Every structure is written in structure tokens, then in C-alpha cells.
Amino acid sequence: MKPAVKKAMTILSKIPMVAIVIAVFVLGYTFKGMVSKAPHVASTSAIEKFSEKAVGKIWTCSMHPQIRLPKPGKCPLCSMDLIRAAGTSEPRRAKKEPKYACSMFCVPPMSRPGMCPICGMEMVEVEDTAGDEGTPRTLTLSKMARKLAEIQTVAVERKTVSAEIRMAGKIDYDETRLGYITAWVPGRLDRLYVDYTGVPVQKGDHLVYLYSPELSTAQTELLEALRRTKSGRKGEGSILDERAEAWVRDIRDKFRLWGMTEAQIAEIEERGTASDYMTIYAPMGGIVIHKNVLEGSYVQTGTRIYTIADLTHVWVKLDAYESDLAWLRYGQQVEFEAEAYPGETFTGTVAFIAPVLDAKTRTVKVRVNVENLDGRLKPEMFVRAVAHSEVAAGGRVVDAELAGKWMCPMHPEIVREEANDCDRCGMPLVRTETLGFVSIDTDDIEVPLVIPASAPLITGRRALVYVELPNETGTYQGREVNLGPRVGNQYIVFDGLTEGERVVVSGNFKIDSAMQIMAEPSMMSPKGGQPPPSHDHGRAQHQGNTRTGRMPSPRQDLDEPDGLKLNVPPAFASEFDPVLAAYLKTQNALSHDKPKQAKDAAAELHRSLAEVNMSLLTGQAHIAWMKEADGMTRAARDITASADIQTARAAFALLSESMIVATKCYGTTTETVHRFHCPMAFGDRGGDWLQRKDKTENPYFGSAMFRCGVKTETIGQPSAGGANDGRE
């Protein structure tokens, strides 16, 4: 034995055993603290150092965003695979590795070729050519991928496009060509020569034989005035002669105002005797469309006897949608077909566009003047009309026939080469340009930039097109554009494209879906980012509908939820029991029309969900619970915040969807519940719910239809070793 070892043993032998034990205990405790703290300190230091020197390599959990680690792996809370944190990315490489994706873009691009795990199609090469920060995102497809995705492009071009405006309406009388035959003196109608409606008459035809004592008195006055003029004092210019002649003129004017012709007045003067009868003649030609009195009737001055319409000109009154008003102009030619003459085309001129929109039909009345010399067009006939407009930039209408001409603002059929007055109304003519037309002789007409209607992806106020980069075949760049009105099958583009660029017109939805899968800017996500889970789309739609009390189509996975195949530990059922109990309280309150109690129960449900111990679940069972718990939490919050019972019931329907699936998946230790279905809920779309009692208590109608619904199944306690199947 060496001297040093010997010396150490001698020293230890002199130390009491109790002191040795105490020393060992202190050293062990100190070492334990160092072991427990050292990894944490090292880990924190490593993360800080990693965050500073390797920005863009932070990994997080999609379910627990508070987890942020420097490398991929499993989430320590739910064991899900970590994903790259939002807002971080790999440093841009000079050359990207090839990626392979399904031509239907079912899954994100993968690093290896093979078969699509969703649809079984062969994966083809695809490249995400992302630029620096702030630059547009692009997608490159191989030749095979473009063929499978059926990508087609066309060039953006400038041209004058033609708008076709379709309208419907009916024929009506021309109001300016209606006339009334009235009694100008009181009397009795002894004879009506036109004794039924629909009779055509010509100007000057006799219509009525009228008896009037007042007429006899006026004739006597006329004859007396004539005798005085003949038997007056001889000598020209006497005052009595002038008064007698003035008297004769006044009586003759009275007869003319009564509708008597010059021949009738001359006949009275030649006859020399008064008569109690007068014949009324037609002042215009046309069709008698109304007979207002019967033969033998007594009439007063102004009583209407007949209504005559001149049908050589008619009006066509059409209904134009407000979206088509931009293409309609005063004086525009319109073609139409009548139901009575299929295949035959008639033409007319737009003479009036109503200044007020019909609030019920959301249309504007457009009046078209039409010649009807042969009388084939009859009032009340239905017609279908088409107007064609050549559209320039800014939506201005081009018409070659009206370029540089003058038109009457009251009668559009009056068009002249030079300034003049209207032949019919005497109004001065105006230039057609002042009525909304563009002269095609003008050299500075701007031709609009147009693209096919299938090119833009429109959502709300945004419009997105995919442009093929000119020097990179198969590379497509998403670009927002400012669209003008749609003209036929094309859109006018105000901003965002230039002439000659090629835009995708077929396959653009597939490109956009690929951009969404890769979390790049797309139609639905203008700033990019991870797309929401698929069930969230439905939830967002459902949540929007709860504001109005309407339900969308019910979920299709209520009868066969994926959770039936999950291995759920029995201990989790006790965690789920308070959630189900609060739900059943909410159902009972709504079925008895008690919104206040329903809101309180929903608040209790919200608290119970927050207290569930999710750590008992792992793998797919955990993912499924997160999905349904998210839906139940939102619905419970909506019920709590609801302003009326209709809104609460709509949110309860969404809550029931998730609750039915969760109850089947995770079971219960204390409850046996029954599932009911009401086919009349939410506009006959139907709705399901759970309740304790075996007899229907409808939460969607309450006392109005308390027993509406049928029991579809009973869900009891979970079976041993797995989830409850819920079947009787």
C-alpha cells in the first residue's frame, strides 16, 4: 500500500461515522440541484443562442403555440408533430430541392416522388419559387403537372367589347296617341254609332247622335244674330252692324268649341231653323278601346263617351336589371321578339329610361318606341328584347350610326345630320355625345383592357389572377387586379395587368389550392400563413348563420364519427361528464323557452370545457377532442352572448353536432342520453340534439312544437376497452 493511501485511511479512521453520513447527504443534495437545473439553463441558453444565430428555425405545436423549440420533434403536451413557427422561414437557398405534389394538390408538396396518399395519383415535380420578403409568391409546375392540372392561358388584350343586355316586358299603348270623345254640351245620347269596343274608326267618322236643348238655344241665337245683320241699317260701318257681326262670330266660335264642324254650322245657317240634335264626329283615327256610357244615357259637359287609341305606334315597356343600366342609352336600337310571332324580329328605339328603381323587383323601366303600321303588335303582348352595346373604356357606349349627329331629347326617332328643331315638338336637337354616346370618329377613344371571365378568382371585393411569367415556362404568379364591369364573357381591367401578359383561364383554382396548402398568399389568404383546419371553414359558416337563426346543412359525420375507432381511456369519461351535464341543462332550458337559464347553462358548459384534463388523451384521440372542443367552446360562447332565443337555438344546433360526436367518442359514466331529430328545424334542414328524457322535448321550437321530433338512438356508458358505439 502506498504511503498516501495509507495516510488517508488513517485520517478517515479518526473521523466519526456520523460526520461522514452528514457530509455525504449534503454533497448528494447539492449534486441533485445541479443536475436538475443544469439542463434547463443549458436548454434556455441554447434556445436564446439559436434564436439569435439561426432565426427562422423555431418549431411550435399547432395545438399549443406556447411551445417553441429549436428543432423538430413531438409536442411535450399532446405528442403531435411540431411544425415551423409562423413568420419564420429557412434562409433562401440559391437552388431549391425539387418537390413532388399531387396534380390535384390533395397534400402539401413532398420531397420524394410516389403516389398521392389521398387520391392515389402519381406525384409530379413542382417547385415553390418564393422570392425575397415582400415579393409576390409564385409556383412552378412541370410539363406533366401542367397537363394533369389542365392549365390553359390566354393573352391580355385591348379591344372594344360588346355587351348584350337581355330584357323582358310587354307592349302597351302609346300615351301620346290616345284620344277621348267627350260630351261638350249636356244632353241625351239618342244614338251610339259605335256600340262595342275594338271597332276601328277613321278621322271624321260619325260616332254619337246627341239630343241637347242647350244646343237648340244656341242655334236660335245664331239665327237671330244673322237676321239682325241682314235687316240692320243701311250704311257701312254702323255700330249696330259691327255688334251683330261680332255676335255671329262669337256664336260660331262656341259651336266650334262644342266640336261642330264648319259644315254643320253652315247647314244650320242655310236651314234657318234650330235643331235639338247634334252629331259628334271622330277627331282622330284609331281603335275604340273603351266605351264608357250606354245608349240613352244623359251626359254632362266633359263626360267621357269613348277612348280611341292610335295603334300605328306602340310602346314596349321593358324591365332592365340595375347591373345592366351602364350599357343602356337613350336613342339606342333594341331588337325584340313577341310570343305571338316566334322567330320574327322587330326593332325599336329607346325613348325613356325611368329615373327611379323599382324597390321590389330591383329593375328599371325602359320604354321603346316601335312603329306598328300593320297592327300586328297588340297591347299586353309579352316580348323578349336584346340590346347590343359596343363598350369603350370607362363603360361608354359606341354607336357608329349616331356618331356626330343631332337627336331630339323628347323623340329619339328624330335624328338629323345638322343642328335643327324637332319636327314633332319643336325642341332644339342636341348632339348624341351629350346623351351618353361616343363618336367613333374621335381618335382618342381608349380601348379597354379585357380578360376572360374565367380568369379572375373573385372573393368579396378582391379579384386574383394567376399570370404566367414570360421568361419562365410553367411559373405562375398570383396578382390582385382591379376589375371593372363584366361585359358578356369578359371583364374590363382597370389596373393590375398589362397588354400581352398571359393569364390562367383553366386550372387557376388548382394553382390557388396549391398556394393555400403551402401557406402562401392565395385567394382566401391574401397574406399567406397556415390555412385553418378543414372543420374551421364549416364552423365559420355556421357561426355566421347563428346571427340570423338559420342553420346550414348538418354535418355528415354524426352517425359515423372517426372517434368510434379511437382508444379512449375510461378515466376521460369522468372528465367529460360535467360538460355533458351542462349541455343537458341548456337543452332543457331552450325546450321550455327559458333563454336566461339557457345562457347560464352555456356559461357553465364553457367553464367545464376549460377544466377538462386533455393530457389523458394521446394521439388521434387528443386531436379529435381538440376539434370537437373547439366547436363546443365557440357555440357555448355564442349562446352566452345571444341577444334572443332564436340566436341561442341556432348556436345550440352547432353545439349539438359536436356534442353528439364527443359523446359517442368519449362516453359517459353517469348518463344515458337519447338522440332526437326534428326534420322541420331551420327551414326543413333538420336538427339533432341530446336529452335525458325518453320523450321528445324540442329545443328548437320550444312550446310552439314541443313534441316535434323522433328518437333515433340511445347513447349509454362506454363499452369496455373503447369508445361507446351508441347503438341500440
In this predicted model, what pLDDT tens digit does every residue of 295-347 receive, in sequence order? 989 999 889 999 999 999 999 999 999 888 878 888 888 999 999 999 999 99
Say which range, 285-294, 554-563, 704-713, has the weakest mean pLDDT.
554-563
Are the beta carbons of 379 and 171 closer than 8 angstroms?
yes
Residue 120: per-residue pLDDT: 65
Residue 246: per-residue pLDDT: 82
Q: 159-168, 220-229, 264-273: which has the highest mean pLDDT?
A: 159-168
User: Tell me: the pLDDT tens digits for 5-43?
Assistant: 455 455 445 545 544 444 444 444 444 444 333 333 333
Residue 21: per-residue pLDDT: 43
- Report the pLDDT averaged over residues 671-697: 88
pLDDT bracket for residue 188 (50, 70, 90): very high
- Phi, psi (deg, nearest 5) at residue 347: -125, 155
Type of residue numbered 581 = A
More confident residue, 139 or 452: 452
Are the beta carbons of 464 and 503 closer than 8 angstroms?
no
Residue 545: per-residue pLDDT: 40
Instruction: Provide the grid cell at 154.
Output: 390566354
Residue 404: per-residue pLDDT: 67
More confident residue, 414 or 558: 414
pLDDT at 541 over 50: no
pTM attached to this predicted model: 0.48
Query: Which run of H or E residues covers position 690?
Result: strand 687-691
3-state secondary structure of 469: coil
Residue 593: per-residue pLDDT: 94
DSSP state for residue 185 in the 8-state scheme:
S
pLDDT bracket for residue 370 (50, 70, 90): very high
pLDDT bracket for residue 238 (50, 70, 90): low
CA-wise closest residue to 70 among 87, 80, 84, 81: 84
Residue 88: per-residue pLDDT: 47
Geometric angle at alpha carbon 211, from 208 and 215, rounded to 5°: 110
Type of residue numbered 296 = G
- Report the pLDDT averaged over residues 409-413: 74
Residue 728: per-residue pLDDT: 38
Residue 153: per-residue pLDDT: 92
CA distance 394 to 251: 65
Residue 555: per-residue pLDDT: 60
Say which range, 60-74, 135-149, 323-337, 518-532, has the weakest mean pLDDT.
518-532
User: Tell me: the pLDDT tens digits for 457-472?
Assistant: 988 778 999 999 988 8
pLDDT bracket for residue 66 (50, 70, 90): low
CA-wise closest residue to 509 among 469, 434, 463, 455: 455
CA-wise closest residue to 31 among 19, 23, 20, 21: 23
More confident residue, 91 or 104: 104
Q: Which long-range contacts (CB under 8 A, 24 or more apart) does 195-200 make?
A: 195/291, 195/295, 196/291, 197/288, 197/289, 197/290, 197/291, 198/287, 198/288, 198/289, 199/287, 199/288, 200/285, 200/286, 200/287, 200/288
Question: To the nearest whole number, what is the mean pLDDT of the chain?
Answer: 76
pLDDT at 348 over 90: yes
Percentage of the chain exceeding pLDDT 90: 25
DSSP state for residue 719 in the 8-state scheme:
P
Q: Other CB atoms closer than 10 Å to residue 506's CB: what's the count?
A: 15
- Report the pLDDT averaged over residues 389-395: 64
Q: 304-318, 487-501, 515-529: which has the highest mean pLDDT?
A: 304-318
Residue 664: per-residue pLDDT: 85
Say which range, 113-122, 455-464, 678-687, has the weakest mean pLDDT.
113-122
Q: Distances in Å between the alpha carbon of 631 and those of 295, 614, 621, 635, 643?
A: 81, 16, 16, 6, 20
pLDDT at 194 over 80: yes
Please, which residues have CB within 8 angstroms of residue 271's CB and are 6 or more apart in sequence? Answer: none
Residue 163: per-residue pLDDT: 81
pLDDT at 3 over 60: no
User: Tell me: the pLDDT tens digits for 146-183?
Assistant: 888 889 999 999 887 888 899 999 999 998 889 888 88
More confident residue, 500 or 399: 500
Residue 20: per-residue pLDDT: 46
- Report the pLDDT averaged over residues 656-662: 89
Say which range, 385-394, 612-621, 671-680, has the weakest mean pLDDT.
385-394
Report CA 436 to chain centroid distance, whole Å: 29
Residue 382: per-residue pLDDT: 95
pLDDT at 253 over 90: no
- Phi, psi (deg, nearest 5) at residue 86: -65, 145
Residue 225: per-residue pLDDT: 79
